[in-house]
């Protein structure tokens, strides 16, 4: 069994520090609420982090970069969409029955799986 390393650059909000202990993650896996409730908003989820301690994020924009690769991402060219994305994240959280404890932001998330 090998390890896979990648990094994600995403606009979103962290909704669980330990995804595997999260009731929301269980719901997302069991009934695919995110597709049923949030696809029209362009909101998805990201499960990433330190091997067996993945974090759970709701995201509107997410790009993956494999370790050792370089990818140019210009958040300033996407910045005009942040207000719209922020509103969509709050709408998605409302539909999923969760409250957001933090404001949406840009995240860089190293991932080991």
| pLDDT tens column, 48-71 | 888 778 888 999 989 888 888 888
Contact criterion met (CB below 8 Å) for 52 and 18? no
Q: Which residues contact 78 (CB under 8 A, 6 or more apart)?
A: 11, 61
- Residue 65, CB-side half-sphere exposure with 13 Å CA sphere: 14
Spatial distance between the Cα atoms of 111 and 96, rounded to a whole number of angstroms: 25
Give the predicted TM-score (pTM) of the model: 0.83
Residue 44: both structure tokens together: 């998805």
Which has more confidence, 21 or 42? 42
User: Tell me: the pLDDT tens digits for 81-105?
Assistant: 889 999 999 999 998 888 898 999 9
Confidence tier at 31 by pLDDT (50, 70, 90): low
Locus of tokens 């009934």: 31
């Amino acid at each position: 069994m090998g390890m896979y390393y990648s990094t994600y650059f995403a606009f979103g909000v962290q909704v669980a520090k330990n995804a595997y202990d999260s009731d929301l993650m269980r719901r997302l896996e069991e009934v695919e609420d995110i597709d049923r409730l949030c696809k029209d908003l362009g909101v998805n989820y990201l499960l990433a982090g330190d091997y067996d301690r993945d974090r759970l994020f709701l995201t509107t924009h997410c790009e993956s970069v494999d370790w050792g690769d370089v990818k140019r991402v210009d958040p300033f060219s996407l910045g005009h969409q942040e207000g719209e994305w922020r509103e969509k994240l709050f709408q998605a959280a409302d539909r999923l029955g969760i409250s957001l404890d933090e404001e949406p932001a840009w995240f860089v998330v190293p991932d080991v799986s």
